Amino acid sequence: MERTNLSMHIARAPVGLPARADFALVEEPMPQPAEGEVLFRAIYMSLDPSMRRKLPAPDGVPGPLGGTRQVGELMIAGLPPPARGYTGGFVGQVVESRHPGFAQGDLVQGGCWWQTYQVLPGDSLEQLPPGTKASEAIGLLGQHGFVAWCGMRNIGKAKPGETVLVSAAGGAIGMIAGQLAKADGARVIGIASGDKVAYVVDELGFDACIDRKNENVAVGLDRLCPDGIDVYFDNVGGDVMLAAYERMADFGRIVVCGMASEYNAPEQPFGASLRPVLRKRLRIEGFVVYDHYEAQFAQFRAEMQALIDAGRMKYRIEVIDGFAEAPAALARLLDGRNKGKVVVQLSPDRSVVT
Ligand SMILES: NC(=O)c1ccc[n+]([C@@H]2O[C@H](COP(=O)([O-])OP(=O)(O)OC[C@H]3O[C@@H](n4cnc5c(N)ncnc54)[C@H](OP(=O)(O)O)[C@@H]3O)[C@@H](O)[C@H]2O)c1
């Protein structure tokens, strides 16, 4: 085990997209677990667009930027304790345990700081079943899979023959949401950019995909959804959400999952008129995945594992090497230049070879 711990602190408030110089990579002393705590070594850190909102705003800049962290502080991923388990942050391996529920070598999910080694209360970590692939636990079978599943199962509820639209369709959550709708017999249209446009159609089996950087989204929706949209799984908010909202079919459902187009925006976008919600009897419902773990995670795991085993769920991961590359990768994620689920690898993955 190393003697020092690589940690990423916030060096300054980003202006626009985050950059490497907004962060400082610091070597800190190795933390020691106290009674009830666990020291784990991070293997993968999940990179999420909403991390942009955790960074501070430049001084004197009004608006929605400016999150929970300040200059000089450790950067954060996922939720800090007392939040438990699948907080979206890390998959790692236990190095030393002073908690009766964990032993050296156990694969765990949890953690919150941009650090290679983290000490956390054992009660805040989730033990992963033996044989788990760390690369699947950080996405498909972890928080991102569960987010897509909750949105589709609890709100979208796609029926055979319905038209389902998924934005950020080639991203971590969109990839899964669309395939779940396909498995339910729906016609699935994606919105994406870059090589993700071809990927979601050719590899994931979506029926079509609008290239939002090369076609006006509203025009593309009129072309591909002439009878309206029954379910819109919204990962991005903003103009794309407005274009979809105006083309919802009667009794349509909008799954408000996230607003990736807005996380880097210095101003709050204009809201939409809610008149069509009444006229078309739409259902627009937001959700936060943390509310559903206790009641539904086991059901999700079983269903997702069955789809993976049947070859009906594909997924791609872009692995970034270490913290130093993470700010640039976060910027690429925020403007759509990622290729699937983005994770930062912080130490060797000795779980089942993928
Ligand atoms: N509700 C919950 O509990 C929960 C939990 C976790 C995450 N989320 C949210 O779920 C959403 C998806 O997360 P993810 O990790 O899967 O991210 P992601 O889709 O892998 O990455 C974000 C994507 O948003 C798209 N995008 C960025 N700017 C855009 C713009 N101006 N207009 C349209 N699209 C734009 C880009 O895709 P293209 O360029 O390919 O279009 C980009 O790749 C995020 O909003 C996230 O915050 C919700």
Residue 130 binned pLDDT confidence (cut-offs 50, 70, 90): confident
The pLDDT, as a whole number, for residue 273 is 67
Distance 88 CA to ligand 1 centre (A): 15
The pLDDT, as a whole number, for residue 151 is 96
The pLDDT, as a whole number, for residue 62 is 55
Q: Tell me the mean pLDDT in the region 140-161.
A: 95
Residue 61 binned pLDDT confidence (cut-offs 50, 70, 90): low
Joined tokens for residue 299: 């059901």
Q: Pick from 191, 235, 261, 338 the residue to mutate for probing ligand 1's pocket: most ligand atoms within 8 Å of its CB.
A: 235
The pLDDT, as a whole number, for residue 82 is 73
Q: Pick from 154, 236, 284 the residue to mutate for probing ligand 1's pocket: most ligand atoms within 8 Å of its CB.
A: 236
Q: Is 46 in the pocket of ligand 1 (CB under 6 A)?
A: no
- Gap between the Cα atoms of 104 and 95, Å rounded: 5
The pLDDT, as a whole number, for residue 354 is 45
The pLDDT, as a whole number, for residue 59 is 74
Q: Is 77 in the pocket of ligand 1 (CB under 6 A)?
A: no
Express each pLDDT in 168-226 by its tens digit.
Answer: 999 999 999 999 999 999 999 999 999 999 999 999 999 999 999 999 999 999 999 99
Judge contact between 275 and 284, C-beta under 8 A.
no
- Gap between the Cα atoms of 255 and 272, Å rounded: 16
Q: What pTM, to 2 d.p., does this model score?
A: 0.93
Q: Is 257 in the pocket of ligand 1 (CB under 6 A)?
A: yes
Distance 259 CA to ligand 1 centre (A): 7
Percentage above 70 pLDDT, the chain: 94
Task: Using the predicted structure, report yes or no on whether residue 353 has a pLDDT greater than 60.
Answer: no
Pairing mode of beta strands 4-10, 248-256: unpaired
Report the nearest-CA residue for atom 32 of ligand 1: 261
Judge contact between 57 and 264, C-beta under 8 A.
no
User: In the chain, what is the straight-line distance between the N-terminal and C-terminal CA atoms, in Å?
Assistant: 24
Q: Pick from 206, 257, 318 the residue to mutate for probing ligand 1's pocket: most ligand atoms within 8 Å of its CB.
A: 257
- Return the SS3 of 256: strand
- How many beta carbons lie within 10 A of that of residue 51, not counting itself? 23
CA dihedral 113, 117, 120, 123 (to 10 degrees): 110
Q: Is 78 in the pocket of ligand 1 (CB under 6 A)?
A: no
Task: Using the predicted structure, report yes or no on whether residue 265 has a pLDDT greater than 80.
Answer: yes
Express each pLDDT in 152-177 by its tens digit.
Answer: 999 999 999 999 999 999 999 999 99
Distance 36 CA to ligand 1 centre (A): 36
Q: Tell me the mean pLDDT in the region 68-95.
A: 84
Angle at 320 between CA 204 and CA 346, to 5 degrees: 125
Q: Which domains are assigned to the chain?
A: 4-132+316-345 (3.90.180.10), 143-290 (3.40.50.720)
Most confident of 119-123, 177-181, 262-266, 349-353: 177-181
Joined tokens for residue 285: 């419902």
Residue (of 106, 136, 134) closest to 120 by Cα position: 106
Q: Determine the atom of ligand 1 nearest the C-alpha atom of 196.
A: 40
Task: Using the predicted structure, report yes or no on whether residue 249 has a pLDDT greater than 90.
Answer: yes
Q: Tell me the mean pLDDT in the region 333-344.
A: 95
Most confident of 66-75, 123-132, 330-339: 330-339
